[in-house]
Amino acid sequence: MIFLVIMGALFLILGGFYLANSWQQYREWKSGTIIVVLSIIAIVYGVINLPYFHHNNSASSSQSISSSQVARSSSFSSFSNGLTLGNSSENEAQQEGKTMAVLRQMQKGYSKLGSVDYNEDSKTFQITPTDDNTVEALKALAQDPSQAEQMGWSNLTKSIKSNSGQVEKALGDGYSISIMNPSDSSKALYTAKDGKTSYNIAD
């Protein structure tokens, strides 16, 4: 709109000169007067629609909205405890949903190695090997941890440690990934928590 005001002002000046010149030489005033009037209308219209005026109107609207929000918050203040509980439950449901999504992803990723379950009490994703070769190797490792280096144990634990860091990013801290002992599924051979090794039978 500022452009319209500027152009209107220029046409007003030119129209004034044209009107004065036409009157002096030809005693003609209609064309010049029309130009001057249109220029004034353009200037007035442009000034009214400048951002300054809209800013004032917006400020007034914002004040009225803020007032209504204050009124609503006051009227619902007695339900604040209930709303807090509702948000907490919703967060828990969302966290549970994300945990189950991670579990499904891990089940797909470790399908060739074995099964994956989630222990809610310890917040641990437990990998139970079912592949015959892996089961035999891990049973031997459980009996003699000194074989870890020859078996390439560090490659598997490094991968799980890295995945543990990804789980932390997805779910937050406090979650673990464990490789369970095929001979005793209640015991872990390796556990990584929050991207760090917390237990390694080989150490």
pLDDT in tens, 109-147: 889 889 999 999 999 999 999 988 889 999 999 999 998
A 10 A CB-CB count for 200 gives 18
Residue 181 parent element (H or E):
strand 176-181
Which residue carries 């003699």 as its tokens?
A: 144
Give the pLDDT of residue 24. Answer: 57
Q: In the predicted model, is pLDDT for residue 183 greater than 60? A: yes
Q: Can you give the pTM of this predicted structure? A: 0.56
Give the pLDDT of residue 42. Answer: 62
d(CA 193, CA 164): 6
Give the pLDDT of residue 80. Answer: 32
